[in-house]
Structure 1
Amino acid sequence: MKKSSILILALLSILFMGACSPQKKTIQDIAQQPYIVAYLPTWRMPYTPDWDKITHLCLAFGFVNADGSLRMEEIIKNKYIIEEAQKHKVSVLLSIGGGGSKNFAPAILDAETRTALVNNLKKIITEYNLDGVDVDYEEWEGGPNGASEKDIECRTALELLYKELREALGSTKLITAAVNAGWDNGGGFGLYNCFNESMHQYLDFVSLMIYDETGPWSGERTGPHSDWTFFEKAIDHWLNNRKLPKEKLIAGVPFYGYHFLSPNDATGARGIPYRDILTQYPDEDAHLQDSIGLLYYDGIPTIKRKAEYIKQHQLGGIMFWEITQDTDIAEKSLLNTIYNVLR
C-alpha cells in the first residue's frame, strides 16, 4: 500500500475515533459563551437538571475547615451527578465556602493551612474527576469605606489562594469565583473594596452575585433585592473599577424573592423560591411580574431583559442561585427564558 493511502486511512481513523469519543470542554473553549452557570445545593439533591440548557454546574458546598481540610460528606454522597453532567458535556465545579461559612478566613490567612487547602482541593478534584473549583468566599466584615482592616488581609490571602490553586491545578482545570457584587452607593457601609483587579489573572470567570441587596439583614431598607439599577451599577463597577475583562464577567440573577412583613422593616423577611411564588399566587400572573405587595423577585420580563443585556454587551454569561428553585412549567421557567435568549 502506498504511503499516501496509509496516511489517509490513519487520518480517517483519528477522525472516526474523535467523533465517537465524548468531547470534553476546555477552559479555552470560549465559543460556548455566553455561559449558563447553575448552582446546585447538595441539600436539594437528588435533582436532575435540564442538561441541555446549562454549560456549568457548581456543586454547593464543600465546607472549608480552619486547618485547610474540607467537609465533603454531602458532595461525596451525591457524586453520581458529576459523571452524569459530564456525559452531557456540562463542566462540574466544586464550590467551596458559601454564605454559612465560618472557618474559611483562618484557613487562607495562614500560609501553612492555605497550602493544605490547595493540596486537599487538588486531591479531591483529581479523585472525583471534577472540572475545577469555584471559590465562594463570603466571610467579609465590611465597613464605612468598604473593606475593613481584616478584610484587606483576607483580600490579599484570597488572591494568594487563587494564585496557588492555579499553580497546583495548571491550565487544564477551571478556577472561578463567586463574589459580592456591591458597589459604592454612598450609603456609608459596604463590601465594595473586598476584591481587587489583579485577582482576575488566575481566574477563568467571576460570577457576580447581583442579588440580596435587601433582605432580613437590611434594617429599614426593604424593596427589590435585585433591581435593574443594582444590576447595571454592579456590572459597571466590576468592568471599570475592578477591571474585570467582560468575557470573564458572569452576571448573577436570583431564582427566589423576599417577602417583607413591613414596608420599613426588613426584620422577619423570608426568602421564597420562584416556583413557590407561582404556587402561592396562581391568579396573579406572577411569572410576568417582579413584585406582589411586599414580595420582590425577578419574573420573566426582568430575567429576559438581563439576559438580553448580557448578550448585547458580550459578557461572559449568566449565573443563578439556584436551579431547583425554578418551576417545571416550561412557559414560566426562568431557565428556559435565559436559554432562549442566550443559546
Structure 2
Amino acid sequence: MKNYRFIKEAFLLMVIVSMFVSCAEEVENPSFDSDELPRIFGWEQLYGTNIEDSLKIAVQVSPSDGVTYSWTLDGVEVSTEPTFEYLFDDPKTYEVHLAIERNGVPNTRTATVEVNQPFIPKDYAKMMVGFLTSAGSISDVDFSSLTHLVISSAVVDEVAFPETIVDTTFADAMNIPQIVQSAHNAGVYVMLDVTDDMAAITGGGLYGDVTFFDAVADADKRAKVLETIMKFAVDNQLDGVNFYLNDTWGGPGSLDAAAIGAFYAAVPDYLPEGPGPDGEFFYSVSVPGGWTTSLLSPLAAVERIDWVNIQPYRYEDLSPTSHSPGWAYTSLADTWIGLGVPAEKIVGGFPAFGLKYDMPTDGTVVGWGNLWMFATYHTYKEILSMDAEAYSKNMLSVDDGLFYDGHPAVTEKANAVLSQGYGGMMMWSIESDTKDPETSLLKAAYSALGNN
C-alpha cells in the first residue's frame, strides 16, 4: 500500500513539473530576424461609425519592435500612432490606409470607412427614381441627382430556386449595406426591385418567361415570396419594394388579370413599417407599355400602391424609328390615369440606352420573328463613345439610325411631368449612364424637374 502511494505521489509530482515546464515554454517570447515581414492582424475591409462617435481601429502587428505607423484618410496622413482613433467631420465614405515599416520592410492595409448620420430624406420638387442593376456598383451612382434608388433585382423563379422561390444572391456582390448607408447619408431612399429574369441593358422581360406569375398565382407560394422579400428588405434596412411583373404574355397558361390583381392586392398585408412621411414602407410597381397593359390594369385599384413607374420605351418597329418617342410618354401616362391611377402617382420612365437599326440589303424580309438580328441595344455610355456630342441629340446616323434619349428628349419629358402633374421620372438604368455632369442623363432630368 505504501509503495502504491509513493508511486502515485511521484506521478503527480511529475505531472505538475511537466505543466510548469510546458507553461514556461508557451510564454517564451519568439525571436525574429531583422528583415522579418511585420504582419498585420485584426484588419477589416469595411468599418462603420456614426458622425458623433470616434472610430477606433486597434490592430496587432507582429513583430512589433521598431515598427513605424502611418495612417492616411483619402491620401492625407492623420496619425502615426499604433492605434487609429479619429472623429470625422462629414458623413460620407472614406478610404483609410495603414502603412507600417520595420527595419525597412513595409506592409500595408486599405479599407473603406462609412461615416453615417441619422437618415434625413432630402427635399425635392419631383421624384427622380434610378434603377441600379447587378451589372453596376456604388461607384456608378450619383446620389446628388436621385431621390429614390431601386436595386435590381430579386428574381422570383420557383423552377430555378425551388427552396426559396426568390433569388437574392445578387446582394453578395453589390454590397447592399454600403449602398444603403451611402444613400441614406445623401438623403436618398433605397428600394428593392422584385422581378422575373430580364435583359439587364433594357430591363425587358425574357419572352415567354412567366415564372414570377406562376409562383405568385398560388396563395401559399405567394405568401412565401412576400415573406422572403420583406424579411430581406428589413434585414438590409431598405425603405420599400418595387414589383415588376415584366412578362405578362407567355402563351397558353399565362396568368390572367384576376390572378395578377390578387397578387398586387395581397402585398399591403406584408409591408413592414418604413421611413415614409407617415411611417409607411414604400410600395411601387413598374409597368411596360404595349399589349400587356390590360393584364396589369387591376393594380390601379390598389390604393396602397404609392406610385407606378411607366416604361414608354423599347417600342421596336419593322422600320427604323425611335423606341422612346415623346408621344408614347404621355400616351402611356394617360392610359394609366384613365384606368384610375392619379396623375401624381405616375412616374415617367426614360431609357439610358438606345436602339440601333442595321437593316439587311440582300433582300431579306424583316419581320417580328427576325427583327432582333437587325436591331440592337446600346448603353448611353457606348453612344457617347461613338459621338462625344451625343448628349445634345436624340439620334445618331449610325447604320440605319441609332435612336436614344439625349438631353433634348429628357428635358421634353421632364416638362411633361411638370405640366401634367406627374409624380416624377425614373431611369433605367444607372450604370448605363455617365456621371459626367455635362453629359449625364440623370443629372439633366433631376435639374429639369426643378430639384436643386
- So what's the TM-score if we normalise by structure 1? 0.80
Deviation for aligned residue 1:322: 0.7
| Equivalent residue in structure 2 for 1:286, among 390, 396, 413 | 390
Contact 1:122 1:169 in 2 (8 A): no
| Aligned position for 2:40 | none
| Equivalent residue in structure 2 for 1:212, among 285, 292, 314 | 314
Report how many residues are paired. 302
| Aligned position for 2:183 | 85
More displaced, 68-77 or 295-304? 68-77
How far apart in 2 are the matches of 1:296 and 1:200?
A: 35
Classify 1:121/1:24 alpha carbon distance in 2 versus 1 (closer, same or farther; 3 Å). Answer: farther
- Counterparts of residues 257-296 of structure 1 (less than 5 Å): 257-262=354-359, 265=366, 266-268=371-373, 269-282=375-388, 285-293=389-397, 294-296=401-403
| Aligned position for 1:73 | 169
- Counterparts of residues 177-196 of structure 1 (less than 5 Å): 177-182=285-290, 190-196=291-297
SS of residue paired to 1:150: coil
Give the letter aligned to residue 191 of structure 2. Answer: L
| Equivalent residue in structure 1 for 2:153, among 61, 70, 95 | 61
| Aligned position for 2:64 | none
Classify 1:236/1:212 alpha carbon distance in 2 versus 1 (closer, same or farther; 3 Å). Answer: same
Percent identity reads: 23
Give the letter aligned to residue 162 of structure 1. Answer: V
Classify 1:150/1:88 alpha carbon distance in 2 versus 1 (closer, same or farther; 3 Å). Answer: same
Deviation for aligned residue 1:199: 3.8
> After superposition, what is the alpha-carbon deviation per residue over 1:151-177, rounded to whole angstroms, capped at 9, x for unaligned?
3244223323434334x5585211110
How far apart in 2 are the matches of 1:313 and 1:267?
A: 35
> After superposition, what is the alpha-carbon deviation per residue over 1:184-243, rounded to whole angstroms, capped at 9, x for unaligned?
xxxxxx2130222544412111100111111xxx5x254111101111211111112x21
After superposing on structure 2, the runs of 4+ consecutive aligned residues of structure 1 that deviate more than 4 Å are: 168-171
| Aligned position for 2:238 | 130
Q: How large is the RMSD of aligned CA atoms in angstroms?
A: 2.6
- So what's the TM-score if we normalise by structure 2? 0.62
- Counterparts of residues 12-31 of structure 1 (less than 5 Å): 22-25=118-121
Classify 1:165/1:288 alpha carbon distance in 2 versus 1 (closer, same or farther; 3 Å). Answer: same
Deviation for aligned residue 1:46: 4.6
Classify 1:120/1:24 alpha carbon distance in 2 versus 1 (closer, same or farther; 3 Å). Answer: farther
How far apart in 2 are the matches of 1:39 and 1:72?
A: 16
SS of residue paired to 2:372: coil
> After superposition, what is the alpha-carbon deviation per residue over 1:54-82, rounded to whole angstroms, capped at 9, x for unaligned?
00011011111325632111123321212
How far apart in 2 are the matches of 1:208 and 1:236?
A: 11
- Counterparts of residues 146-185 of structure 1 (less than 5 Å): 150-166=255-271, 172-182=280-290
Q: Which has the higher contact order (CA 8 A, sep 6+)?
A: 1
Gaps of 5+ in 1: 1-19, 183-189
Residue 310 of structure 1 pairs with residue 443 of structure 2: no
Contact 2:131 2:152 in 1 (8 A): yes
Contact 1:142 1:148 in 2 (8 A): yes
Contact 1:38 1:319 in 2 (8 A): yes
Contact 2:134 2:153 in 1 (8 A): yes
Contact 2:140 2:430 in 1 (8 A): no
More strand by proportion, 1 or 2? 2
| Aligned position for 1:4 | none
| Aligned position for 2:143 | 51
SS of residue paired to 1:139: coil
Give the letter aligned to residue 296 of structure 2. Answer: F
| Equivalent residue in structure 2 for 1:105, among 204, 213, 232 | 213
